[in-house]
Structure 1
Amino acid sequence: MTVRHSGGGQPERTLALLWRNTRQQVRRSAGRRPSLDVDDVVRTGIQLADERGLDAASMGGVAKALGVGTMTLYTYVPSKEELLDLMVDEVLAERQLPGPGEPRPADWREQVELYSEQTRAMFQRHPWLARVSTVRPPVGPGMLAGREYLLATLLPLNLSPRDTNTAALAITTYVDSAAGLEAENLLVERATGQSNEAWWYERNDLWETYFDVERHPAMTAIWHANGYQDSVAEAAADTYRYGLDRLLDGIQAQAETL
């Protein structure tokens, strides 16, 4: 599957589109309201990507779904790069993360759990996100809301400013990467019509015919000690839980030494 990259649009133009709903709105003159706006374009792109995959959310595909010509669409969103940024930031903003002054869980770890749950649910709703690299992210309201939430979560731990930012980035990297892998699994299952469990079952002959216990003593020891989970799904869930817990344990241990 081809990976797309966000952050490829013209900077001034992209920022104006990303922050279009937060700026003071210019009062429209009297007359007919346009039948289409940027929000319509973005929502349609997301819907197409959800239903048929990211490739379906092309400028031509979105224009057809909206019943307009492709050139008309360009007057609202100038390029596919801007459209991708707008779609990604829109779904990032779907996460129900409390903003400044809004009620949130009392314990900082519970607050991180909320970020984790909302992010994983977001990727499950929009698995095409797994095909988008955000190394250069869309710097819009959705992206910044997630950053603000995690920094506000960690500030009461009284880590240094640098360590607070680093810890927040570590959490983002872990949760987003794991959620993206879960979404990628879903995409592969949809594309192939085969579950991960079925894929591994077809390869059971590996253990009977090719696996050499002398070359893999550690794996063999874990097997004999019943150290492997019963299913691929169970292994994925346990792996995620283990990694997040140990990451938060490390942050907590550092905070307790201050």
Structure 2
Amino acid sequence: MARKGSGEGDPRKTLRLLWRGTGPDGGPRRGRRPRVTVDQIVAAAVAVADRENLDAMTMEKVAGELGLATMSLYTHIPGRAELVDLMVDAVWRELGLPLGAEPRPDGWRAQIELYARRASATHRRHPWLREISTVRPPLGPGLLARQEYLLSVLTGAGLTARRAAAAAGAVVTFVEATAGTEAEHALAERVSGQSERDWWAARQAFWDDTFDPARYPAIARAWQEGGLLPSAAEASADARDFGLRGLLDGIEAALRR
């Protein structure tokens, strides 16, 4: 499945929508109150994508969710590309990471682990997020809050600004990838109606008739010694925890140097 990209809409219009209500012209406008707000449109779009998938999230579907004519949405949001950016930023804001003087867990490692847990939970709630490439991200409050949190944690631990930026990028790349994989396993089970265990049981013949332990001795040994977990979801969670621990160990070694 080809990934869709964020940041493909009109940049001026998208930025104005992302930062609505925060600039000098962000106060209440005079005139008749609109039937629907941008926040309501974004929430409806997220609900459609959560329930079905990102491809199913059309302007027509979102309008139907709100009981409106499709064209009425275009008076608020230029099109689907801009709406996708608003959706991504909205779910990033759900991370709710503590900023400024808000209380945080003790220690920089625990603070990074807090981000990892919340990112994984966000992907589980919104499995369509894994379908969107954010290498050109929506420059909204959600992105900036995440980046501010991670940079403040890592510079506070003692990294230089440049190294903190590199470490934050590594953490985001790893956490988002593993969270997306976990969400994909959950989605596959939900969509197919078949559990992970049943899917593998239906392919037992591969291990009985096709797999050659002599040709793949490392796999055979891992299986015999319990290294291959029966659940792919468990395996990906183990990979996430092991990988994040290794990544944080590397950052800690850099701090000691």
Q: TM tier, shorter chain?
A: over 0.9
* Counterpart in the other structure of 1:93: 93
Shift of 1:187: 2.0
Residue 56 (structure 1) aligns with: 56
Tell me which residue corresponds to 1:130: 130
Give the secondary structure class of the aligned counterpart of 1:56.
coil
The answer on 1:237 being equivalent to 2:240 is: no
Residue matched to 1:222:
222
Secondary structure in 2 matching 1:228? coil
Aligned to 1:213: 213
**For the residues of structure 1 that align with 2:119 and 2:101, how far apart are their CA atoms?**
21
C-alpha spacing 1:196/1:224, structure 2 compared with 1 (3 Å): closer
| Percent identity for Structure 1 against Structure 2 | 48
User: Which residue is equivalent to 1:32?
Assistant: 32
CA separation in 2, counterparts of 1:221 and 1:34? 65
TM-fit CA distance, 1:223: 3.1
Report the CA distance between 1:196 and its aligned residue: 2.0
Structure 1 residue 27, shift from structure 2 partner: 4.3
1:3 shift after superposition? 2.7
What letter is aligned with 2:129? L
Alignment of 1:113-124 (within 5 A): 113-124=113-124
- Relative to the length of structure 1, the TM-score reads 0.93
Provide the residue aligned with 2:142 in structure 1.
142
Change (3 A) 1:106 1:217: same
Q: What TM-score does the superposition give when structure 2 sets the normalisation length?
A: 0.94
CA distance in 2 between counterparts of 1:224 and 1:40 reads 53
SS at match of 2:105: coil
Q: Could you tell me which amino acid in structure 2 is paired with residue 72 of structure 1?
A: S
Residue type at the aligned position of 2:247: L
What displacement does 1:201 show? 1.5
1:23 counterpart SS class:
coil
User: Does the 8 A contact of 1:63 with 1:73 survive in 2?
Assistant: yes
Alignment RMSD? 1.6
Contact 1:128 1:187 in 2 (8 A): no
- Separation in 1, partners of 2:5, 2:76: 21
CA distance in 1, matches of 2:223, 2:203: 17
The CA distance in 2 between the partners of 1:238 and 1:125, in whole Å, is 20
Q: How does 1:62-101 map to 2 (within 5 A)?
A: 62-101=62-101
The CA distance in 1 between the partners of 2:28 and 2:200, in whole Å, is 60
Deviation per CA, 1:162-196, whole angstroms, max 9, x where unpaired? 21110000000000111111111222222211122
Rounded to whole Å, the distance in 2 between the matches of 1:226 and 1:124 is: 27
The question of whether the paired residues in 2 share the 8 Å contact of 1:6 and 1:132 is answered with yes
Measured in 2, the distance between the counterparts of 1:121 and 1:71 equals 34
* AA of the residue aligned to 2:45: G
Amino acid of the structure 2 residue aligned with 1:68: L
User: Runs of 5+ in structure 1 lacking a partner?
Assistant: none
Q: State the partner residue of 1:111.
A: 111
- In the TM superposition, what is the alpha-carbon distance from 1:32 to its structure 2 partner? 3.0
SS in 1 for 2:55: helix
Shift of 1:2: 4.9
| Counterpart residue number, 2:178 | 178
Q: Would the alpha carbon gap of residues 192 and 231 (structure 1) be closer, same or farther in structure 2, given more than 3 Å must change?
A: closer
- 1:230 Cα deviation after fit: 4.3
Query: SS at the partner of 1:53?
Result: coil
Residue type of the alignment partner of 1:100: G
